[in-house]
Chain A
Amino acid sequence: MHLSDLLHSQVLGADGASLGSVDDVRLVQDGPLLLPFGAAFRVEGLMVGHRSVGTRLGYVRRGVRGPWLLRIIFAALERRARYVPWDDVVAWDGRTVRVGKRRDELGVVVP
C-alpha cells in the first residue's frame, strides 16, 4: 500500500454520508523499531473534508498566527474539515475509508 492510495481515498461516515477525501495523514513515531532510525511512523489519524486546503497549507494549525486575513479565511474553511483518529476507521479497501462515526461525532481540532 502507498500513502498516495490513502490520500486519494474517499471517506464515508457511519451513516454512509461522504465526509470528503483524505487531505493529509498524521503520523506518530511510536511503531516497531527500525534500527538505526528508531521507532517507525504509524498512521495516527486522517484530516478529511471538502475544504481543508488551509490545513494542507499549514494555516490555523497550532503555532501559525497570520497573516490575519488568511488565518480568518482558512479558519472558516477548516471548520468544515474533520479529524478522524485511525482507531475510528472501520475499513479501508484502498479506495474508500469507512469510519465508525458520523460527521457530527468527529472533532474539528486535531488532539
Chain B
Amino acid sequence: MTEGRRVWAGLQLLDRQLIAHEERLAGCIDDLELIASDDGDQLHVTAILSGPGALAYRLGRRRFGRWLRRVHACASPTGDRDSTRIPFNVVTDIGSDVKLGLDAEETGSASAERWTRDHVISHIPGSGHAPE
C-alpha cells in the first residue's frame, strides 16, 4: 500500500467488486463505516459495509437497512461478528476491484443463501448427494 494516496470514495470505492481470498466474488462495497478520531476533528474509514442491509441504508431506507443488517448478523456463520461489516485491515489491494484477505464464507453477501442451505436444504432427504 502506498502511504498518502488519495481516492474519491464515491467514484473509486463505492460499488466496487469485492474479491475474497480464494478469488471468489464476495459482493460489492455498499457503504463505508466512518469513525471520528479521539479529538473528534478527523473521520477515518474503519470498515467496508456489504450486503442488502447496507445497500438499503445507503439508498435512504435507514430503519429497514438496520433491521436487515441485524437479520444478516443472526444468520452469520461467524457467530457474534456482523459479517456485513468487513474491517478495513483485511483489504489487501484496491484497484478496479477490492481484494480481501477473507474467505467468501466469512463475508455477508451470501449469508441468506448460506442460511437457506444449512437450515432448509440440508434437511431435505437426499440433499447430501452432490448433483450428478
Contact = CB atoms under 8 A, between A and B. Distances in A.
Interface of A: 1-8, 23-32, 34-44, 47, 56-58, 86
Contacts of A56: 10-11
B31 A4 contact: yes
Interface string B2-24: 11111111110110000000000
A80 to B, nearest CB: 18
Contacts of A2: 31-34, 49, 57-58
A43 B8 contact: no
Interface of B: 1-11, 13-14, 31-36, 42-46, 49, 57-58, 60, 87-92, 101
B42 A31 contact: yes
A42 B43 contact: yes
Given A1-B43, A35-B89, A41-B44, A26 B6 contact: yes
A7 B88 contact: no
Given A3-B34, A42-B43, A86-B43, A37 B88 contact: yes
A36 B58 CA distance: 28
Contacts of B34: 1-3, 5-6, 43
B88 A34 contact: yes
Nearest to A25: B9
B44 A25 contact: no
Contacts of B8: 24-27, 47
B63 to A, nearest CB: 14
Given A2-B34, A41-B45, A28 B57 contact: no
B1 A27 contact: no
A24 B9 contact: yes
A47 B8 CA distance: 9
A1 B14 contact: no
A39 B3 CA distance: 7
Q: Which 6 A-B pairs have the closest CB atoms?
A: A38-B1, A34-B89, A4-B58, A3-B32, A41-B45, A43-B43
Given A1-B34, A2-B32, A32 B10 contact: no
B84 to A, nearest CB: 12
- Output the residue of A36, A41, A47, A58 with the most chain B CB within 10 A: A41
